[in-house]
Amino acid sequence: AAGVIQSPRHLIKEKRETATLKCYPIPRHDTVYWYQQGPGQDPQFLISFYEKMQSDKGSIPDRFSAQQFSDYHSELNMSSLELGDSALYFCASSLDRTEAFFGQGTRLTVV
């Protein structure tokens, strides 16, 4: 079965650079979630979209923004990167806001 696809899987950026992470949800899923997981920490909710509209916001820094496009894929844009932004970033999708299925994540390293 098709799963949530995230790209890239690994990304290395320097401080103050910009990064864009992409998420392709399971076909026909209408909700996308973004999570950040720092080393040794639990996943932290960042933001979610339902039917291409932002539906909920968690602890997402102002330097980050996200959107969901007409084809339902989503992008997380991160600017002025800091060393503390180094983390695993997970995207998840769900149908009709029920159980969420997660992708394999993007490992972002800021140097």
Partner 1 sequence: DAKTTQPTSMDCAEGRAANLPCNHSTISGNEYVYWYRQIHSQGPQYIIHGLKNNETNEMASLIITEDRKSSTLILPHATLRDTAVYYCIVRVAPINNFNKFYFGSGTKLNVKP
Instruction: Name the residue with tokens 């539906």.
Output: 55
Give the x-and-dash track for 67-106 against partner 1 (CB under 8 A).
---------------------x-x-x-x-xxxxxxxxxx-
CA distance 71 to 78: 21
Judged by CB, which is closer to partner 1: 14, or 40?
40
Q: Using the structure block, give the residue that is written with the tokens 């600017």.
A: 79
91 within 8 A of 74, measured Cβ to Cβ: yes
Q: Which residues bind partner 1 (CB under 8 A)?
A: 4, 31, 33, 35, 42-45, 48-50, 55-56, 58, 88, 90, 92, 94, 96-105
